[in-house]
Amino acid sequence: MKQQQFNCPVEATLSLIGGKYKPLILWHLVDCPLHYMELQRRIPSATPKMLSQQLRDLEDSGMVHREVIPEKPPKTVYSLTAFGESIIPVIDAMCRWGTSYMDGLDVQSPCCSAGA
C-alpha cells in the first residue's frame, strides 16, 4: 500500500473505510466470513462492479482477506483480518449513532439489531 500523507486522523480513517459500501461490507463481515454472492444479497444497492472494487480496496488496505475455494464453480470468501477487526468499535459506534438518528426520523431498520 502506498504511503499517504494525512492532515488529521479522521482523514486517515476515511481513506481506509470511506466509500459508499466499505462500512457496510465491514459491518456484514463482523460476525462471520461471507461468500461474494451473500455480500451481494445483503447489499443489493451495490452493483457487482462497485462491490468488487470496494472489496478489492479493502483487501489492498489489509482490512479484508479474500480466499478462493477451488470448487466447481470456484467460490470467493471474504473475512476480516486482525487489522479489519480493529475497526469494529468504529462501525459499532456508527451503528449506534445511525440507530439514534433513524429513531428520531421514526424509521426502523433491522440491520443493526444483531450487532448492536
Instruction: Determine, yes or no, domain membership for 79.
Output: yes
Number of domains in the chain: 1
Q: Residue 44 belongs to what domain range?
A: 9-84
What tens digit of pLDDT does each residue of 16-27 get? 999 999 999 999
The pTM (predicted TM-score) of the whole model is 0.85
Instruction: Determine, yes or no, domain membership for 24.
Output: yes
Instruction: Determine, yes or no, domain membership for 115.
Output: no
Instruction: Determine, yes or no, domain membership for 59.
Output: yes
What is the residue whose three cell numbers read 470496494? 54
Instruction: Determine, yes or no, domain membership for 63.
Output: yes
Using CA atoms, how far apart are residues 94 and 89, in angstroms rounded to an integer? Answer: 9
Instruction: Determine, yes or no, domain membership for 25.
Output: yes
Instruction: Determine, yes or no, domain membership for 41.
Output: yes
What tens digit of pLDDT does each residue of 77-93 get? 999 999 999 999 999 99
Q: In this structure, what CATH number is given to the domain that contains residue 22?
A: 1.10.10.10
